[in-house]
Amino acid sequence: MVPLSQAKRVVIKVGTGVLTSGIGQLDTTRIEALCQQVKTLKDRGIDVILVSSGAVGLGMGKLSLKKRPKDLASLQACAAVGQSILINTWQKGFDPHNFTVAQILLTREDLRARHRHNAVFNTFERLLAKGVVPIVNENDTVSAAEIKFGDNDTLSALVASVANADLLFILSNIPGLIDMQGTGEVIPRVSVITPQIEAMAQGTKHTTSVGGMISKLSAAKIAQRAGCGVLIGSGQDPELFDKLLQGEPVGTYFEPSDLPIKSHKRWIAIQDHTHGSITIDAGAQAAILEHGKSLLFAGITNCCEDFHAGDIVQICAPDGKILANGMVSYDKERIATNAPELENNVVVHRDHLVLL
């Protein structure tokens, strides 16, 4: 059973295919149904954050484009046109329930720097305390390849991690994870995403949508590690949340990890970009992996690339295998010059170290 009635905070990701019927045509009935479902959850005291796609699709409609453009500038132009239509649509949908919406547009870069990551968290907290419905999308207009989330499935999992959500709902036109190799039916529950589970995922080839089942599974993994359960289900079902509240099995539920990463370490876990690497000896490897210790200066055998105190680096075993990500307390320069006064110092504190 999906533990929705015990949830305090949920993130709901809605795909373009759910909000539109045909290119750029809003499906108002579906949007009204979703707003009604959000009200049901909020009436039960559950905080709701929406991650809404649709900007590019709506922009395509407004600009009379029949096919999704391939070049970045045209996609960004569509997003710029469509985002205002999207947010207005949500506000109109919530008006009958007297909910105010807030627009939050993010890039990957916003979650890389700790102060920006924390600012996003604080804004969510303040908005939710005021009863507002935050509506998140990627800031497509300024997102170049290196700062892109790539798809809103990944974005929704990162939002669930940042906002400390208990449950993430990834709603699209797909009813759940379908067992293509076996029964052809929706798999109700997954505890760990194994290679066999991944083999069941299939790509999406819709005109407006971006992520397929593969991106949904990798998003589910991010959320599971953050201690957040995930439901992949159909955004076309107007009673999805009512059914879940009544304990009916709907979609595919992915259980949260038994050993979730603690919230103060999550921003380290979600970093896709490190500033360098530190290779350690076998003793330090055992201390970190088996005894949950910090990394001491004495265990370091090599450092690569120019990192600075506060940067995230990879920590590698003697054979080069990446063991962990961690935030360093010293500049590479200082470590590399073998400063004798560092001998017993902590270079990566265990509170700033996430095993991979």
Contact positions toward ligand GLU, by CB under 6 A? 15-16, 53-57, 79, 137-138, 140, 151-152, 209-211
Angle of helix 28-43 versus helix 72-94 axis, rounded to 10: 60
CB 169 within 8 A of CB 231: yes
Shortest distance in whole angstroms from residue 52 CB to ligand GLU: 7
Minimum CB separation from ligand GLU for residue 326, in Å? 30
What are the C-alpha distances in Å from 140 to residues 11, 107, 143, 247, 273? 20, 8, 5, 37, 20
In terms of CB distance, is 152 or 329 closer to ligand GLU? 152
- Residue 244 burial (10 A CB sphere; 0-12, 13-18, 19+): buried
Q: How far apart are CA 10 and CA 169, in angstroms?
A: 8
Closest separation between CB of residue 54 and ligand GLU, Å? 5
The residue among 215 and 294 lying less far from ligand GLU, judged by its C-beta, is 215
Residue 346 CB: number of other CB atoms within 10 A? 16
Between vectors from CA 141 to CA 270 and to CA 171, what angle results, nearest 5°? 55
> In the complex, what is the shortest distance from the CB of residue 134 to ligand GLU, in angstroms, rounded to a whole number?
15
**Whole-angstrom Cα distance, residue 193 to residue 181?**
16
Q: In this structure, are strands 312-316 and 47-52 parallel, antiparallel, or unpaired? A: unpaired
Q: Given the complex with ligand GLU, which of 52 and 325 has the nearer CB atom?
A: 52
> Which of residues 28 and 302 has its CB atom nearest to ligand GLU in the complex?
28
Q: How far is the CB of 224 from ligand GLU (least distance, A)?
A: 20
First to last CA, the chain: 29
Read off the amino acid at residue 323. Answer: L
Question: Shortest gap between Cβ of 15 and ligand GLU (angstroms)?
Answer: 6
> What's the token pair of residue 355?
């095993």
If the CB atoms of residues 59 and 229 are measured against ligand GLU, the closer one turns out to be 59
Cβ count near 323 (within 10 Å): 19
| Residue 112, number of CB atoms within 10 A of its CB | 16
- Residue placing its CB nearer to ligand GLU in the complex, 209 or 325: 209
Closest approach of ligand GLU to the CB of residue 43, in Å: 28
Q: Closest CB to ligand GLU among 88 and 246?
A: 88
Of the pair 62, 308, the CB lying nearest ligand GLU is at 62
Q: Min. distance of Cβ 185 from ligand GLU in angstroms?
A: 26
Q: H helices of the chain, where? A: 16-19, 28-43, 55-62, 72-94, 108-112, 114-129, 152-162, 195-199, 213-225, 240-245, 266-269, 282-291, 332-336
